[in-house]
């Protein structure tokens, strides 16, 4: 029995070679982009929302970035341009810094107000009070009582030592309670209680 004659299909062979070439180009381009590394700013130590940006908070990190990743490149932004601004969120060490994470001033939501309080020792629950904690604002004057059920600590600054120093605490409160909280705070008649 005679063997069947194999027909060559040059068009099919050319299409297979062309497809292989396209796949090779796509893979090579992807690998080249993945290997491109740039220096960007990242967080060196844990920072809290509302805390002033310090040079010690910033460290350059080398990462592979895509066009869709919005981060502050070391070549684009110098440290001097960032220091003195405010952190817009709590960040852990190693977090990459995007333009929205460092702001000139904190934004306050609609119907809210930021109130600054100077709390003497005993006016706060523990030395670990920090930005992001949820607190109850208590009036301690002649007409003591709850001024605000739930408030968020925006920033904490310690003046003096941790035991006997005054803490400057900024809290976010409902706008309609801001005047009462500020008045009690100015008179030294306010305390904070951490709540879940």
Tell me the C-alpha distance between 3 and 87, whole Å: 79
In a domain, 73, yes or no: yes
- The residues pairing with 60 across neighbouring beta strands, listed in sequence order, are 41
User: What's 81's domain CATH number?
Assistant: 3.90.1210.10
Say whether both 124 and 185 belong to one domain.
yes
Q: Quote the DSSP letter at residue 32.
A: H
Backbone angles phi, psi at 43, to 5 degrees: -85, 130
Task: Tell me what percent of the residues of the chain surpass a pLDDT of 90.
Answer: 9
8 Å CB contact between 159 and 168: yes
In a domain, 14, yes or no: no
Residues 23-46 have pLDDT tens digits of 998 888 877 766 677 788 888 888
Final residue in a domain of this structure, among 52, 76, 103:
103
Domain, as residue range, for 90:
37-103
Residues 48-92 have pLDDT tens digits of 777 888 888 888 888 776 655 677 777 767 778 888 888 887 788
Sheet with 166-174, edge to edge strand ranges = 112-119, 166-174, 145-159, 134-139, 190-194
């Amino acid at each position: 029995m005679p063997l069947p004659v194999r027909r060559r299909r040059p068009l099919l062979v050319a299409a297979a070679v062309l497809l292989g070439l396209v796949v090779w180009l796509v893979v090579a381009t992807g690998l080249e982009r993945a290997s491109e590394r740039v220096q960007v700013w990242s967080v060196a130590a844990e920072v809290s929302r509302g805390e002033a940006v310090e040079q010690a908070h910033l460290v350059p990190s080398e990462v592979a970035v895509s066009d869709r990743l919005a981060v502050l490149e070391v070549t684009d932004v110098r440290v001097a341009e960032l220091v003195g601004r405010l952190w817009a969120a709590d960040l852990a060490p190693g977090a990459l810094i995007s333009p929205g994470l460092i702001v000139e001033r904190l934004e306050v939501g609609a119907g809210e107000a930021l109130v600054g309080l100077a709390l003497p020792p005993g006016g706060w629950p523990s030395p670990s009070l920090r930005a992001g904690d949820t607190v109850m604002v208590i009036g301690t004057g002649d007409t003591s009582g709850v001024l605000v059920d739930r408030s968020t600590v925006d920033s904490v600054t310690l003046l003096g030592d941790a035991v006997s120093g005054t803490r400057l605490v900024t809290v976010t409160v409902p706008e309609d309670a801001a005047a009462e909280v500020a008045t009690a705070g100015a008179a030294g008649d306010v305390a904070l209680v951490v709540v879940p």
